[in-house]
Amino acid sequence: MNNNGHYQPRSEKLPTSLEQVTPAWLNRTLRLRYPDLEVRDFEIVEVNNTHTTKLRLALDLNQAALDAGFPKNVCLKANWSGSSLSSGSGICELEARFYRYFREQLTVPAPLSYYADWDEDEFNQGLVVMEDLALSSVTFCTAIDPIDATEMARSLEGIADLHVSCWGNGILDQHTWLKTSMGVNSSDAKMYRSLEEHMLYNNRLASRRAVLPGWFLEDPERLSDAYDQLVAYERSQPSPRTLIHGDAHLGNSYVTSSGDRRWLDWQIVRRGTPWRDLNYFMTSSMTVAERRSNEAALLKHYLMLMAARGCEMPGFDQAWEQYCLWPIHGLASFNGSRDEWQLPGSILAGVERFSAAIEDHESVARMARLAL
């Protein structure tokens, strides 16, 4: 179907409730990009409301759309749940921008997208019309099903493809809307304080106390101070910065029938150094024992993948120093999350793995030395 990659101007705001999502609206919207397409009707297959809404639809399309290969089944993602985590936060707008500017124009490991748009107003609505993965031969992943080093090595190829897409090539300079990891006034920089209430609650749970470092339970401010140091340190790091997922845990990924890992939930996509993605993914996705035995070799593997793709990378020792800082971010992120926010056991598994990693790498002491 001929769209030339162009979007015609939209004169109406995006829906802010499910009731506004009608066949007539979807037809008007998709025709802004696919003028020969006609959505005559649709059937709602499933509505999944969390902090965002995933709306699976079976479309009744005209013959021109079918002949051009437009899918009969799609998934619409937007903020129609009314969640305070999404309303006005900009995460849906940010994800829509990612799909418009990066997924549709670069080779990155993410679902196919057919339409992406957003409203720059107080609601910050964003809409993505993407492939319906539930009808594909893919396997959705969770932290309670860790992967081994062999699967991690293969998965790092996709991470390398993501990172190389904007590595030192000036593409990110065209997208001033894209936030910098740990940037001034970013949600990253404020994450520890914004989650502190949840963290203090979680610190009283027997399940968390059984795996958290003793020093953190005695004095949570030590992690808070280390997090602030990490924020300042990341801001000081020289270029090149690249496109990073920002929340690369197993629950935000799926594996295709060919064995390739791809990534969902690009709601905190950032420009940043690669170590955030690497440490978050590797530490949260393997058991403690598997990580301890293999992470150095896996980091070397990643560096070789990037070098083979033409990127000038630091030596292993320098990369290892950077990598070992990021359990500070991972532990804060997971321990600041309530158990009910993910599948049962997922958050606790992450807390256990990052608690071990922050001790193994002496991340807090390492960060303090670099902050001097």
Asked, for residue 353, whether it belongs to a domain, the answer is yes
Residue where a domain stops, chosen among 135, 159, 182 = 135
Asked, for residue 2, whether it belongs to a domain, the answer is no
Q: What is the CATH number of the domain that holds 47?
A: 3.30.200
pLDDT of res. 50: 84
Angle between helices 327-335 and 187-202 (to 10 degrees): 50
Q: What is the CATH number of the domain that holds 285?
A: 3.90.1200.10
Quick: pLDDT tens for 265-289: 999 999 999 999 999 999 999 999 9
pLDDT < 50 stretches in the chain = 1-2, 4
Residues 31 and 113 reside in one and the same domain? yes
Q: How many domains does the chain have?
A: 2
Residue where a domain stops, chosen among 135, 164, 194 = 135
Contact between residue 285 and residue 146 where contact means Cβ atoms under 8 Å apart: yes
pLDDT of res. 266: 97
Strand partners, 53: 49, 78
Asked, for residue 224, whether it belongs to a domain, the answer is yes
Residue where a domain stops, chosen among 84, 102, 135 = 135
Residues 110 and 170 reside in one and the same domain? no
Residues 292 and 338 reside in one and the same domain? yes
Give the burial class of 36: count Cβ atoms within 10 A of its Cβ; 0-12 exposed, 13-18 middle, 19 or more buried: middle
Q: What is the pTM of this model?
A: 0.94
- Give the side-chain half-sphere CA count within 13 A for 94: 23
Asked, for residue 10, whether it belongs to a domain, the answer is no
pLDDT of res. 1: 47
Where do we find the tokens 């106390």?
Answer: 209
| Pairing state between β 270-272 and 39-49 | unpaired
Give the burial class of 99: count Cβ atoms within 10 A of its Cβ; 0-12 exposed, 13-18 middle, 19 or more buried: buried
Residues 50 and 152 reside in one and the same domain? no
Residues 158 and 70 reside in one and the same domain? no
Residues 68 and 120 reside in one and the same domain? yes
Residues 35 and 118 reside in one and the same domain? yes
Nearest Cα neighbor of 265 from 139, 105, 111, 160 is 111
Quote the tokens at residue 219: 């004095």
pLDDT of res. 198: 95
Measured CA to CA, the distance from residue 119 to residue 240 in angstroms comes to 31
Instruction: Give the 3-state secondary structure of residue 45.
Output: strand
Residues 147 and 288 reside in one and the same domain? yes
Asked, for residue 8, whether it belongs to a domain, the answer is no
Name the residue range of residue 122's domain: 18-135
Residues 294 and 366 reside in one and the same domain? yes
Residues 123 and 233 reside in one and the same domain? no
Residues 89 and 57 reside in one and the same domain? yes
Measured CA to CA, the distance from residue 198 to residue 313 in angstroms comes to 38
- The CA–CA distances, whole Å, from 145 to 251, 298, 332, 340 equal 10, 19, 22, 18
